[in-house]
């Protein structure tokens, strides 16, 4: 899962990012309105944690921009303002949840999982494709009732393909979505090939009714 934190408080932003990375999320951050606007315009996220009171603009205007761009990302507003008016305005603009500062990181984690599950899978913890099932919270993969062991990046890549079967993805798209936005600056994406190769081998060894195939000159897709 890919998360963006838009928060101007350095300590809070950093501790939140460190916590979520330990929980197996890919996390990017922005410390002001302009950085947040650049990120949401150029990249896609599963969830955005959005502070309202930014030094160079309102987080609510960023929320409007997200909706104007028809982004499908979930949004959780984080703000020291705990008034009913702020909550109502944020939810009316399309936010999925509201969490007042200070908050416990464990509660934030639960809220993130909840909004992503509601938006992506209609509340289901398990998703299925052919003879494969994935538990997106506990990171378990089953093929015909036999568990398939994957490392973190293999799981993230498989989840990305399973969520969009049949769609062709460029290597840069896979890299940005699974390894983070900074990957668009790397000189080589050869590591994607090795990751796909390992995942294909595991799928074949477990008799999965699917494969990941290369699309010449473009990238990969799940068939």
Q: Is the distance from CB of 39 to CB of 69 less than 8 angstroms?
A: no
Give kind and range of the element (H or E) at residue 2.
Answer: strand 2-6
Percent of the chain with pLDDT over 90: 44
Domain boundary pick from 106, 121, 136:
121
> Is there a single domain that holds both residue 116 and residue 204?
no
Domain count, the chain: 2
Burial (0-12, 13-18, 19+ Cβ within 10 Å), 68: exposed
And the tokens for 220? 């990969």
What b/e readout covers 151-167, taking b as 16+ CB neighbours within 10 angstroms? eeebbbbbbbbbbeeee
Contact 126, 135 (CB under 8 A): yes
Tokens matching residue 39 = 């990120």
Q: What is the pLDDT of residue 34?
A: 96
Same domain, 217 and 151: yes
Per residue in 96-150, pLDDT (tens digit) is 888 888 889 988 988 898 888 777 666 567 888 999 999 877 889 999 989 999 9
Instruction: For residue 146, give Cα distances in angstroms to 141, 157, 205.
Output: 8, 20, 11
Q: Token pair for residue 177? A: 């979505």
CATH of the domain at 60: 3.40.50.2300
Last residue of a domain, one of 69, 102, 121: 121
State the pLDDT at residue 176: 74
Length of the chain: 223
- In a shared domain, residues 157 and 92: no
Nearest to 2 by CA among 210, 149, 199, 163: 163
> Of 97, 121, 145, which residue constitutes the final position of a domain?
121
- Residue 102 shares a structural domain with residue 7: yes
- For residues 96 and 176, state if they share a domain: no
- pLDDT at position 42 is 86
Confidence (pLDDT) at 15: 95
Per-residue model confidence (pLDDT) at position 120? 66
Indicate if 19 and 97 belong to the same structural domain: yes
- Give the pLDDT score at 181: 58
Q: Is there a single domain that holds both residue 143 and residue 203?
A: yes
Tell me phi and psi for residue 19, to 5 degrees.
-65, -45
Instruction: Dig out the tokens for 150 from the structure.
Output: 């994957």
The answer to whether residues 45 and 149 belong to one domain is no
Residue 29 sits in the same domain as residue 73? yes
Helices (H), 26-70: 33-42, 59-68
Q: What is the pLDDT of residue 38?
A: 94
Other beta carbons within 10 angstroms of residue 26's beta carbon come to 21
User: Quick one: tokens of 35?
Assistant: 């950085």
- CATH number, domain with residue 206: 1.10.10.10
Same domain, 109 and 143: no
Does one domain contain both 83 and 165?
no
Same domain, 90 and 28: yes
Residue numbers of the chain with a pLDDT score lower than 50:
none
Cβ atoms of 173 and 190 closer than 8 Å: no
> How many of the other CB atoms lie within 10 Å of CB of 94?
13
Domain containing 35: what range?
Answer: 2-121
CA angle 60, 184, 221 (to 5 degrees): 95
């Amino acid at each position: 899962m890919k998360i963006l934190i838009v928060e101007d408080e350095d300590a809070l932003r950093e501790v939140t990012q460190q916590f979520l990375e330990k929980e197996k999320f890919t996390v990017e951050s922005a410390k002001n309105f302009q950085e947040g606007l650049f990120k949401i315009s150029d990249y896609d996220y599963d969830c955005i944690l959005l502070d309202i009171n930014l030094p160079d603009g309102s987080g609510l205007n960023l929320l409007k921009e997200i909706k104007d761009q028809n982004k499908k990302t979930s949004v959780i507003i984080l703000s020291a303002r705990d008034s009913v008016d702020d909550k109502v305005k944020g939810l009316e603009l399309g936010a999925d949840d509201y969490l007042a500062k200070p908050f416990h990181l464990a509660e934030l984690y639960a809220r993130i999982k909840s909004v992503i599950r509601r938006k992506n899978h209609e509340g289901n913890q398990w998703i299925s494709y052919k003879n494969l099932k994935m538990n997106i919270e506990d990171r378990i993969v089953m093929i015909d009732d036999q568990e398939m062991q994957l490392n973190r990046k293999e799981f993230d890549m498989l989840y990305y393909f399973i969520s969009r079967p049949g769609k062709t993805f460029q290597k840069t798209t896979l890299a940005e979505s699974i390894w983070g936005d900074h990957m668009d600056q790397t000189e080589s994406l050869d590591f994607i090939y090795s990751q796909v190769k390992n995942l294909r081998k595991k799928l074949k060894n477990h008799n999965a009714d699917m494969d990941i195939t290369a699309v010449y000159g473009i990238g990969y897709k799940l068939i």
